[in-house]
A and B are shown apart, each in its own frame.
Chain A
Amino acid sequence: MRSKLTGMLAGIAMTLASGTAAYSQELTIFWAEWDPANYLQELANIYEAETGVKVTVETTPWSDFQTKAFTEFNAKGSAYDMVVGDSQWIGAASEAGHYVDLTEFFNKYKLNETMAPATVKYYAEYPSNSGKYWSVPAEGDAVGWSYRKDWFEDPKEMEAFKAKYGYDLAPPKTWAELRDIAEFFHRPDEKRYGIAIYTDNSYDALVMGVENAIFSYGGELGDYATYKVDGIINSEQNVKALEMYRELYGFTPPGWAKTFFAEDNQAITEGLAAMSMNYFAFFPALVNEASNPNAKGTGFFANPAGPGGEQFAALGGQGISVVSYSENKEESMKFLEWFIKDETQKKWAELGGYTANKAVLESEEFQNATPYNKAFYETMFKVKDFWATPEYAELLIQMNQRLYPYVTAGEGTAKEALDSLAADWNATFKKYNRVQQ
């Protein structure tokens, strides 16, 4: 039945499908719709000018990116030659054979040495410490903060702050200070609020936000090698960190319960909040006066330290991988060879991309290029990431399910939420035979 039916459809398809001759010299890179993808298109245009190979960066909205990419992978589709995929995907995509093994390429060009260590560890290597690589770090990213420098430097505010909290008003060095400043600027009567944080639970926004607190509080999500979670995800410092995140939620603008990068940037451009959490990749819009009327009064700082002095941030960013089902794997490798050249990486950074190339990152030129590049450089050496196991999506959904009601509605306690999460995660790892109990 099925073969007959497919045969029939094939007949229809062949007679009707509009015949488009495939260009032999054409590559397609798939990414989400955002500024870096436009920068990559500009970079690819240079490649086209040099080699005659047309490279198209195809994009889809962030909210559909994961769905679209994996539907294509799982059907072994050849629509994309390369994909700039999220760091969490690497386990799922490498175990299922969607990505081409780039270990040889990696070793040949010594990317281990030329790329920032965190990007190699989280974007390229899977499993951890295995020495197997699946992608070339392309867009480094992490969570940082923007703030209203003009509010912070207002003498009246500075005086009032000092009088209330006993220390000078300045970009926070610790999460405790972050909380104080958020509270200080939280003035619903004046339609000004303390802080903008991530709360959207439909993908990884809320989780990234909470991770920022957890990692700086010295906590971990679990032992990524043994899959042990109980006592780690619900540790004491994690409970404290989650309570802090809940407290910060109290200083957010009204209706701040489904927010991600767009809302957080808007909090700054519309003068809603004093401080705002966001990925560095979304900052270009904040330094441009055309898109941010407060551009001159906007500053940036790295994720502050926790009570123990530890300082980490949640990792964003992506590596570029070759799709196993591509019909142009060789051409794709040639593009990657070009992409990792120092000049290309330098050009990539100039265009606005966040290179992972150590030499470029360390250069004066890069660090002074924008008001936030220095904070970015510092952050990229102290980042941690979410689970990258193939079942990461289930872990993510369970984390959203447990944390969201606590953070936004104050249901239950932080301890209860994290204990339940530990049980959920353990059950999931058991289901996939990662752990025995």
Chain B
Amino acid sequence: MATAVIETLDPKSRAASRGMSDIAIRNLFIIPTIAFLIIFNIFPLLYSLGYSFTDFRASTNAPANFVGLQNYRELLNDPFIWTNFSITAKYVIVSVTGQVVVGFGVALLLNRDIPFKGLITTLLLLPMMLSMAVVGLFWKLLYDPSFGIINHVLGLGTFEWLSNADMALYAVAITDIWMWSPFVMLLSLAGLSAVPKHLYEAAAIDRAGSLYTFFRITLPLVAPILMIAIIFRTMEAFKTFDLAYILTSQPTTEVISIRLYKMAFQEWQTGRSSALAYIVLIMILAITNIYVKYLNKVKER
């Protein structure tokens, strides 16, 4: 891949005669990063791919036997795995939608002259500055039906957020929304304040309704940066592990990463877990690819 870079020269180059040539600079700027990422990813990728066709267990000295596609076949036929995937899908949808609605909503509210805007924005960012493990621990305490402040303040008595099979996934998603809406908010705010003011003024002169202004002016202009936020949040939500693992142990919250963790680190079924990892990777790749295509389309408009 890296060699592909060293080919075309920027025809407009004027600095070629002085200092380093543009090609040299371009290669110097790009190749180290690509090479670095290849080094850090190629070995794990090849390792996982290779072992995904075997019954290898890293915990034993037994040699790995080649089993062909058996791991993939068995995984794709395992009803438990499909349950994990549908839970993950539900979680991604609820959590990312929530983050976009809350994050973008707060950004809309913040996008005006507000006293102490810098301070308020920093304060709103605090949740995402905590580590997932700590957030999980403390939200478990906050949700607790006996000691928890949430039920106490909301007057919910002993409502069981985390041990109610139907509620638990939403409770995890709420925590995730609390933690990551600020991320969406910050990026949206960036997009929003970049919308040229004269467009709004023009709309006001045309007596356009506020809904019209929002959908025809605001949203299209913010869309590209919002899409980047959504891409990164979807990828992270799909990989969610700590929060769900620490908060509850309901079968209804067993997202695919938890299953993967158990298979790889508790059962040490290295071969099979590698196969599952590849299935997950392909899914994320596919979803992200759709997003990126859409993002490029949005950018062209």
Interface residues, chain A, with chain B CB atoms under 8 Å away? 1-2, 5, 8-9, 66-67, 70-71, 73-74, 92, 95-97, 188, 191, 199-203, 253-258, 270, 272, 390-391, 393-394, 396-397, 401, 404-405, 408-409
Contacts and interface: CB of A to CB of B under 8 A. Distances in A.
A103 B292 CA distance: 61
A404 B251 contact: yes
Interface in B247-290: 248-251, 262, 265-269
Contacts of A9: 39
B147 A270 contact: yes
A342 B266 CA distance: 36
B148 to A, nearest CB: 9
24 contacts: A5-B39, A8-B39, A70-B59, A95-B60, A191-B146, A202-B245, A202-B249, A253-B146, A254-B145, A254-B158, A254-B163, A255-B144, A255-B145, A255-B146, A255-B162, A255-B163, A257-B160, A257-B163, A393-B268, A394-B269, A397-B266, A397-B267, A404-B249, A405-B251
Most chain B CB within 10 A, of A1, A8, A71, A393, is at: A393
Interface string B100-141: 000000000000000000000000000000000000000010
A263 to B, nearest CB: 9
Contacts of B144: 255
Size band of the interface chain B makes with A: 20 to 34
A394 B161 contact: no
A390 B163 contact: no
Contact of B267 (A199, A253, A258, A394): A394
Interface in B144-183: 144-147, 158, 160-163, 165
Given A96-B61, A390-B59, A397-B266, 8 more contacts: A5-B42, A8-B39, A92-B60, A188-B158, A199-B249, A254-B145, A255-B160, A258-B248
B267 A393 contact: yes
B58 interface: yes
Given A71-B265, A202-B249, A408 B59 contact: no
B158 A70 contact: no
Q: Is chain B's interface secondary structure helix, strand, loop, or mixed overall? A: loop
Contacts of A2: 43
A92 to B, nearest CB: 6
B232 interface: no
Contacts of B158: 188, 254-255
A203 B39 CA distance: 35
